[in-house]
Chain A
Amino acid sequence: MSGFRLLDLVKPFLPLLPEIETPIERVTFDDKVLFTVSLGFVYLLAGLPIYGLPKDFALESNPFLWLTPVFGAEPLTLLELGLLPVVTAGFVFQLLAGLKYISVNLSVRLDRELFQTAQKLLSIVLSIVYTVILLVSGYYPPLASAGAYAFVGLQVAGTGIVFTLLSEIMDKGYGFGSGALAFITLNVATSIVTDVAGLDQVLVAPDTYESRGVLVHLVRNILSSPIASLRTVCTRTHLANLPQVVLALATILVLIYFQNFRVELPIRSTQLRKIYSAYPVRLMFTGSMPILFAYTALFNIHLAGYFVAAVAPAPVATFVTDYVLYYLSPPPSLVGTLVSPIRTVVFGAFVVLSAVWFASVWSLTSGSAGKELAAEFKKQSIALNGKRDASVIKELNKVILTASVTGAALLAVISLVTEYLGGLGKGAAVVIAVGAGFVFLEDFVSEFQQGGTSQFASVLGGAQ
């Protein structure tokens, strides 16, 4: 193989980029718990307001508000970008490799390393690019000097890079599951709690404070002004409102219900007679990845559009904001959904189609297609009942493709329903978080069962 390869561009950066050491020996269950908890703690610490912004400045209309919950981002804090750079970089490279748009031989170790470093490099570059976009397009209020802008940018981009490395720690097996997904899940979990019972007061308009938690706001004001407070709680858009919270909780229940849907393929042992069992293929075969992908695409389109709208000449700018960005964003409320049907349909079609497309290729790009599964079956002397060896791959692919595409469409519809009812991204974030939570739980339980002696286990589980 000769000629130019995209991955070779990464080579000069190899010695410069920090690389977390892979654990030399198995990380014990207790260490994993400690690492996961401390990483989560660092994430929560990072929800700190950016230094250098005017004090009583509140974003009146944040164009990305409905996208931020999905990526664990918090506007006007260090987590301005959340995990967006990490997730985007991962999707870009893994899809490119899976669909064979870049030439990389992943069975060669050096190529694998280059591939991994390329993802890290892209994540770092994207952190910087996104920050520059925000600064250039006037996302932040006017600041005193160029230095002040640079300082804000340094904090936002720096946090992006820090979280690239923190998710690397998690990914490399010091914690449970995947880094990016863990942070997103943590954000969703904490934000649901604060949305319901957050005690702090937030400046929502000049001289007007509201409690962050829906219940808290209601309880605090129900006696003095019952109608007004109910009205605010049900309709406010700058903070979480009551319908959003109820929707989020309902979505969790629906998703847990669907999580158990599966097709059971009859399998038998090739070694022993009359040993029959079932191999479950879940309806949510690709978990919440398709929704995460759809929103990654949306966030990137919106950032690019925001940039174009800010720097391009007027006709192009108005076209982008009035058509592209308008139609590719969810209506802000149920009324909006009904009043602007084209937007409703276009946005819905985009989410469903991108999720379904992604689901149809992800089993191939994540090494969980029929081919790999069949190889795994063979290794464990399992055969599909009533199928010949040669047709196992075909049969598995058929089931997997159907399951993942149907599952993705179902999840897309669930998150769309929440968006149409005015969920502002919270529903989609919940969809992703529940999916990730189940992966996390599986990893946690399997580690727990094979983890040997564990202090936590003896404390939590009593005498065992």
Chain B
Amino acid sequence: MNSSSAVAPGGARTAAKRKATADRKATAATQTPTSTRAAGAGGSSSTMLKLYTDEAQGLRVDPLVVLFLAVGFIISVVVLHVIAKMTGKFFN
């Protein structure tokens, strides 16, 4: 046996196959996840659309505050309706 062409131990025997394996490993290593759930961070599942699961930087607010502001927004429209009705009754 010729020692100069000795094959390194382990792995595929031919250079072409070794390269293919190396390439496959390289692409697997550089591949990025296609979704937040695949990255292990929650998010949309197969049957459910979820947009917000991480805490991003931004103007941090408590959920209850948002809830009350939302109700406030709607109530303000209710109040407008009521005022319109009243003024319509009294001034027309």
Residue A17 CB within 8 A of the other chain: yes
**Contact, CB under 8 Å: B59 / A18:** yes
B36-58 residues at the A interface, CB under 8 angstroms:
36-41, 43-58
**Contact, CB under 8 Å: B51 / A100:** no
- What is the size category of the interface that chain B forms with chain A? 35 or more
**Contact, CB under 8 Å: B60 / A366:** no
Known contacts: A20-B61, A288-B47, A367-B33. The answer to whether A166 contacts B66 by CB under 8 A is yes
Which residues of chain A are near B71, meaning CB under 8 Å?
42, 45
Which residues of chain A are near B36, meaning CB under 8 Å?
106, 112, 115-116, 367
Residue A29 CB within 8 A of the other chain: no
**Contact, CB under 8 Å: A91 / B63:** no
Residue A233 CB within 8 A of the other chain: no
Across the interface, B59 reaches (CB within 8 A) one of A17, A162, A364, A372, namely A17
- How far, in whole Å, are A162 and B58 apart by their CA atoms in the complex? 16
Residue B67 CB within 8 A of the other chain: yes
Residue B78 CB within 8 A of the other chain: yes
- How far, in whole Å, are A42 and B51 apart by their CA atoms in the complex? 20
What per-residue 1/0 map shows which CB atoms of A1-41 lie under 8 Å from chain B?
A: 00000000000001111111110000000000001001100
**Contact, CB under 8 Å: B77 / A113:** no
Secondary structure call for the A interface = helix
- How far, in whole Å, are A362 and B47 apart by their CA atoms in the complex? 9
**Contact, CB under 8 Å: B67 / A168:** no
**Contact, CB under 8 Å: A90 / B49:** yes
Which residues of chain B are near A167, meaning CB under 8 Å?
51-52
A137-183 residues at the B interface, CB under 8 angstroms:
155, 158-159, 162, 165-169, 171-174, 177-181
Which residues of chain B are near A86, meaning CB under 8 Å?
51
Across the interface, B58 reaches (CB within 8 A) one of A16, A45, A48, namely A16
Residue A397 CB within 8 A of the other chain: no
**Contact, CB under 8 Å: B48 / A16:** no
Across the interface, B46 reaches (CB within 8 A) one of A35, A165, A287, namely A287
Known: A17-B58, A162-B70. 7 other contacts (CB 8 A): A48-B74, A86-B51, A106-B41, A169-B67, A181-B49, A286-B47, A369-B38
